[in-house]
Structure 1
Amino acid sequence: MAAQQPSSASTHHSGDRWPPLESSPEVFNQFMWSLGVPQGEAEFHDVYGLDPEALAMVPQPALAVLFCFPDPPEDPSNPQEQVLAKEEKTTSDEVYFIKQIDSLGNACGTIALLHAVGNACSEISLLENSCLDLFFKSTASMDPYERARVLDKDDDMETAHSLAASAGDTELRDIVEEHYICFMVLNGTLYELDGMKGGPIKHGSSSPESLLQDAVHIIKAIMHKIPNSMNFNVMVLSRKPK
């Protein structure tokens, strides 16, 4: 299953400056297009199930997969964090990654969008001097923390985020705390990009044609850790057919 909860939200820290985003293609498409991705270039699509038949209905190849889910309980025995230091060194130069610092509040939806578009720039032609174009150019040589600080001070990005947050059908007071992460493929490797983690996480080999199916294996593992929740949503960023 997937997308049983059509509207969901963001992450750990509350705050008026970065309110949570509803997890719907309509919200994310308008948000992305307002930032500088031309409407004829790419769009988000819902994934209505995790079985092969439902996945086959999603326009592919995928540029990125966004997953929205409730935060699982902290597991001190989880060895994943110990791996991240190595992964960050080996991927920081090739993967565009932004750290989610405390002052960014519920900005994980925006960070997931930036991870998706920022790592698909070879496939998406941004509008020149648009918000995204200027942001990626100005932060290209920065580390993940520096990029986070630039994002936190970007008034145009913050305004666009707030407008997108108010555009959903779900009342902000009704949204439960959830978190966005992004999956993408670069140079034949599947990466998980989570701003709350120490860096990009490698998940083995993949391709644009198999990205969605490969990401679903990781998504199912995350869902398995949160058995009492139905608040999951999966979206795919795909190129629009020419």
Structure 2
Amino acid sequence: MSGGWNTIESDAGVFTYLVEELGVKDVQFEEMISLDADMLKQQAPIYGVIFLFKYPTNEPRSNEPRDGSFDHAAAENLFFANQVIQNACATQAILGVLLNRKDILIGGPLEEFKEFTQAFPAELRGEALSNSELIRTVHNSFSRSSPFIDENTRVATEEDDVYHFIAYTSINNTLYEIDGLQPAPISHGACTDDEFADKIIPVLQNRISRYPAHEIRFNLLAMVRDLRLRAQEFGDSEALTAEERKRQEWEYENELRRHNFVGFAHQLLKEVIRKKLKDGTYEDWIKDAQDKSKKRIDERMKGKGGDAMDIEY
């Protein structure tokens, strides 16, 4: 295997263009800002959801999941791959939905990968996924560029917050949780596509309820049919325009993610400092910046009752 896997953001635009780069047709992601079944139904048809959460690294291992039950037979009959490499969980969760849905046009490359790994056990499927040049290259193309940290050289410690992506989808009228860190898919009971929105919300709420009340770092993305198609079918030009504008914004943001601007910012700052020194205004410029910073901090502390721990820098 050559090359590593970088972390990518839980972002609707990132995930939408990622699946398109893999050859998938007519699929997009929508961020869900609340756990509301009616809001989720508005995005129908829903192929599944991708859930990001803080992984409980100190939780003891168990022979059974805390919710649902392992379906070891499904691990052989569905596409289920163990996660064998760090940072691949986002794409692996996405594939856990894509490769198990018959109503998605996944395209030639993923069809070939699915057929190639069909007879593999879960661990070998994970190895095949991590060694896929196409999947790894597309995944890494959506990682943020950074000149400071090599994701492959830093080992996480117990003090680090570790986040993990998993998928939920209805397969063969059963609600499955697809998590590559588990030994098998987790069944949460009978669930048709029409029932998915109503049945997934309690599962997620139950999972979140085990975290402290102050823990809010969760993210939920719904994998849905391209909303532009629905707008076209209903002749809703306003909705179509809004969706096209959203795509343009996503494309712009993804281009920014592929570049780091540290070198540019450094050079710009050097030029500004050179000009200030030449004009003799450098000291005044620094003092003015310090005064403005102090004023912002004072205003923020006043607004938060003087609690300096709440200040964000």
TM-score range, shorter chain: 0.7 to 0.9
Query: Which residue is 1:143 aligned to?
Result: 121
Superposed, 1:54-203 pairs within 5 Å as 54-57=39-42, 59-76=43-60, 80-81=64-65, 87-88=71-72, 90-101=73-84, 104-120=85-101, 122-128=102-108, 130=109, 132-166=110-144, 177-203=162-188
Amino acid of the residue matched to residue 22 of structure 2? L
Q: If the length of structure 2 is used for normalisation, what is the TM-score?
A: 0.62
The answer as to whether partners of 2:37 and 2:197 remain within 8 angstroms in 1 is no
Q: 1:165 to 1:213 in 2, by over 3 A?
A: farther
What is the total number of aligned residue pairs between the two structures?
214
Residue of structure 2 equivalent to 1:219: 204
Instruction: State the alpha-carbon separation in 1 of the partners of residues 176 and 50 from structure 2.
Output: 12
Partners of 2:177 and 2:187 within 8 A in 1: yes
Partner-residue secondary structure (3-state), 2:137: helix
Q: Distance in 1 between matches of 2:182 and 2:76?
A: 17
Equivalent position amino acid for 1:152 in 2: S
The amino acid that maps onto 1:221 is N
Return 5+ residue gaps in structure 1 as ranges: 1-15
**Preserved CA contact (<8 Å) 1:85 1:199:** no
Q: Percent identity?
A: 24
Larger RCO (CA within 8 A; separation ≥ 6): 1
**Structure-2 change in CA distance of 1:221 and 1:82 (3 Å):** closer
Q: CA RMSD in A?
A: 2.7
**Match of residue 28 from structure 1:** 15
Helix, strand or coil for the counterpart of 1:198?
coil
Under a length normalisation based on structure 1, what TM-score does the superposition of the two structures give?
Answer: 0.79
Instruction: Please report how far the alpha carbon of residue 238 of structure 1 lies from its aligned counterpart in structure 2 after TM superposition.
Output: 1.4
Summarize the Cα distance change of 1:138–1:176 in structure 2 as closer, same or farther, 3 Å threshold. same
CA deviation after TM superposition for structure 1 residue 176, in Å: 5.1
Segments of structure 2 that go 5 or more residues without pairing to the other structure are 152-159, 234-313
User: In the alignment, is residue 236 of structure 1 matched against residue 236 of structure 2?
Assistant: no
For the 8 Å contact 1:20–1:172, the answer to whether it is kept is no
Given that residues 99 and 106 in structure 2 are in contact (C-alpha distance below 8 angstroms), is that contact kept between their aligned partners in structure 1?
no
Residues 82-129 of structure 1 deviation map (CA, whole Å, 9 limit, x = unaligned): 9999621x212332101011xx11110011011010111x1112322x
Structure with larger Rg: 2
Structure with greater proportional helix content: 2
Q: Could you tell me which amino acid in structure 1 is paired with residue 48 of structure 2? A: A
Query: Is the CA contact 1:84–1:200 (under 8 Å) kept in the aligned structure 2?
Result: no
